[in-house]
Amino acid sequence: MLKELTGYYRSKGISAVGFVCPYYRSCSAENRKVFTTAKEGFVSSGYVTHELPRILFISLDSGSAEKDPNKKTLESVRLWEEEMENVWQLHKNKHWYRTHELAYTILRNFKKGLRLDKARGYFAHINSAKCCENNPGRSQAKSILFDNCRQFIPGEIEILDPDIIITQGKWGKLAIDGVFPELHLPDYIPESLQEIKFLSINNHPVIWIETFHPRNGSFHTVNKPHYPLYEQVVINSMKAKTAL
């Protein structure tokens, strides 16, 4: 998987090392001095081996990023996120902690004794804008970055071959909305869960959970109260897959 994904990034010009994206000039036109080029995805070792259901998060831009491309490769990102970062020191109400928390909430149903800080060994995360404007206060990048990057996301998803996709915010949603065939919802999906769809990717069903970005107040009023329902949907879906 990682070799194929690296090849895909290179073929599209969006690899961290050897970056040659055709949209670089248009995306960086207004802030080239602080603009940093593509950061590759975070793909954990347990995600690759498929020990647990594969959860793929698709978020916005990275907010801030390293200038050194060697620190933004698949392996460098994995090494930092999976082995070096202290999850307990993450801000509890910000995006990255909430990402770990939701991954843990779902995956604990498939691995007895899983700790929140160890969930990072089993999920993947990609940005819907690969480059970064490094705006003050980590404010969101301009729409041109998301619009230009959108064409790269479907191929990335097909290689990552998830069981569950969780989009975080508008641009994560737009990256896949209408791209893959939508399947009929199983009977066990409650009507209250308007944010859940089933997609067909690589000839198998994939749960799509559309969430607000964790910094959006609606995430805490709409999505977080639904965590127990998300758990049950994933459990039922994995049981249905096993029964096939």
pLDDT at residue 139, as a whole number: 76
Provide the 3-class DSSP secondary structure of residue 117: helix
Is the distance from CB of 201 to CB of 157 less than 8 angstroms? Answer: yes
pLDDT at residue 195, as a whole number: 97
10-residue mean pLDDT series, the chain (244 residues): 98 97 95 93 98 97 86 96 93 93 98 97 97 85 95 98 98 96 93 94 97 90 94 94 72
Helix (H) / strand (E) containing 129: none
The CA–CA distances, whole Å, from 34 to 16, 19, 102, 134, 200 equal 16, 16, 32, 6, 39
> Which single residue is written with the structure tokens 């954990």?
44
Domain limits at 79? Answer: 2-243
pLDDT at residue 244, as a whole number: 61
> Which single residue is written with the structure tokens 């999850």?
87
The gap from C-alpha 204 to its chain's centroid, in whole angstroms, comes to 19
User: Could you give the CA distance from residue 79 to residue 45 in angstroms, rounded to a whole number?
Assistant: 10
Question: How many domains does the structure of the chain reveal?
Answer: 1
Q: What is the CATH number of the domain that holds 138?
A: 3.40.470.10
Helices assigned H by DSSP within the chain: 2-12, 24-28, 45-49, 74-78, 95-107, 143-149, 153-160, 170-176, 217-218, 227-243
pLDDT at residue 174, as a whole number: 97
What single-letter DSSP state applies at residue 84?
I
pLDDT at residue 13, as a whole number: 98
Q: What are phi and psi of 188, to 5 degrees?
A: -80, 0
